[in-house]
Structure formats: structure tokens, C-alpha cells
Structure 1
């Protein structure tokens, strides 16, 4: 009764960059982060527009601004290393956004939709946290301490965003619960 893997396994390209060694893997992960932050900068305002709670709208708008700054910082790291960022969309975020949009669209407006938006943003932040964690570790192991520091700071910003959005969940739940 253990875990079963089917004989036919389809392979999907996660990153288009070849990762022949740890340095290549680091830059491939950086490309993924760059794509992720770019995609989120466009997605978060859409979530704010779908939200009803004023504090949630403000938090999402503020986070969208911060994500744009995160994207600029990552671009700065690429510039520092004289590397091209590529034009890759982050497939993980792409899937999370698609699924999240479908879930959000299935919920009527109001507090319940706001709760769904919170759940979606927390999933996105968890994905981002994992991506920043491995990339900052690779940077440290490659003796790129400056890069590791920048990436850890950006990761911490995502953790703070998760704490802030979780703080909104109880009052939004109360509002949704009281609605007929």
C-alpha cells in the first residue's frame, strides 16, 4: 500500500536554463525568482480589485509595490553578475495563479471571497518562501554572501507579508460568518 509511481512519467520543463552545475542552478533559480516577482507584480493588483475588505485591499496594493521592488533588486543582482535574466515565466506561480483565480471566481463576493484570496496569497507566499530559501542557500554555498543577504532579506519580506495577511483573517472570517 505504499506510494506508487506509474511507469509513464511525463516531463515538463520547469526551467528552460540548463543547470550543469551549482552555479548554473543558482542562476536558473534566480531566473525563476525574477519571473515569479514579475508575475506577482501583475497579479496582486487583480486580487486587490477582487477583494472587498478595505484593509485587505490596502495590504495587497502595498505588497504589490513591494514585489515590484523585489523584482528590481533581483534584476540588480543579475546586472551585478553581468547575466541575462532570460524571459522565463515561473511555471510554479503560473499554476498557482491559474488555480487561485479559478477558486476565487467560484466564490461569491464578500467575506468568503476575501478568505479565499487570503488562502491563495498564503499559498503563493509559501511557494516564494521555498524558492528564496533554496536560492539564498545556493548563493551562500557559492560564496556569494552579498547575493545571499539580499535574497534572505527578500524572503523575510514575504514572511512578514504572510504574517500581515494572516492577521486580517480572523476579522474577515467574523464578517463572513455573520452574513446570511
Structure 2
């Protein structure tokens, strides 16, 4: 796709976000399976649901704009997924509490990528006068922030202490 206008860039970034969400969902499901702490498992399960909601919202917006949701492959998330596998899922970590701390770290890295992506498309939608798009994307951004804060609370509220 040739990017000539802010509208073109907006569609490109939505496609990138769609790809990123699909990739992060798969690895988040695997992180949930590896998690030891019940609260962490529950938070990751909610994370998968939130990612699903984001996929649905972004896909719907892309279809409204007559764009193929699968028009882009997010290499940034691909790298973060590889890191999550290497440092949490497939890592040789004998202590399950230390693995939980690593799972949070890897999940938050992916979440921060999503925060940047959602923040960007919200700003573009507003600039383009696409207020309905911006409202839907703002919900996704707010939910992503909420999930990130929950992970920080889990880490600081006990998982890191137990891991230490």
C-alpha cells in the first residue's frame, strides 16, 4: 500500500495493530498456561479477552474503511513475541515465581507496544475527524492501560517479592 495521506497512514497503522493483536493473543494464551500464580493466570485470561475485543474493534474499523485487516504484518510485535517465548515460555526457569515475574515483564512489553499503537491511531482518527473511530479506539486504549496497571499491581503487590 502506498502511503500518501494521513488517511493512508491511519489505515496502515490499523492493519499493523490488527496484526500485533493477533500475534500477542497467541503468546498471551501460552503465557497464561505457564503462569503459576492464580491471580496472574486470571489477569492474563482477561488480557486475552481484551486483545480479542481489540481485534474485533480494529477489524470492524478496517472493514468500514474498505481495507483488508490482514494487509500488514507487524514485525515489531513479532520480535516481542520471540522475546516472550525466549524469556518466559521456553526459558529454563526452575522457580515458578521467577517465571511469573518474567511473564509479567514480557506481557507488559507487548502491552506497551499496543499502547503506542492505540495512542497513535486515536490521534490520527481525531485529526481526520473520525470521531466514532476515535471513541472505539479510545476504549481499546483505556482497556490496555487498565491491563498494564493490573500487571504492575500484581508484580509490585507480591509476585516480585515472592520471586526475590
Q: Report the TM-score, using the length of structure 1 for normalisation.
A: 0.84
1:173 corresponding residue in structure 2: 160
Q: Which among 52, 56, 63 is matched to residue 79 of structure 1?
A: 63
Out of 125, 129, 141, which is 2:111 matched to? 125
From 46, 51, 63, the counterpart of 2:47:
63
Name the larger-Rg structure. 1
Q: 1:112 to 1:130 in 2, by over 3 A?
A: same
**Structure 2 counterpart of 1:162, from 148, 154, 161:** 148
Structure 2 Cα separation of the partners of residues 76 and 166 of structure 1: 30
1:144 has 2:126 as partner: no
Match of 1:38? 22
> Which has the larger share of helix?
2
> What is the aligned partner in structure 2 of residue 9 from structure 1?
none
User: SS at 2:68's partner residue?
Assistant: coil
Among candidates 94, 98, 102, match of residue 112 of structure 1: 98
1:113 and 1:169 map into 2 onto residues whose CA distance is: 12
Alignment RMSD (CA, Å): 1.3
8 A Cα contact 1:39 1:89, kept in partner: no
Q: Which has the higher contact order (CA 8 A, sep 6+)?
A: 2
Alignment TM-score, normalising by the size of structure 2: 0.92
Contact 1:103 1:116 in 2 (8 A): yes
- Distance in 1, matches of 2:67 and 2:113, equals 24
Q: Which runs of 4+ in 1 moved over 4 A?
A: none
Paired residues, number: 161
Residue ranges of structure 1 left out of the alignment (5+ in a row)? 1-16
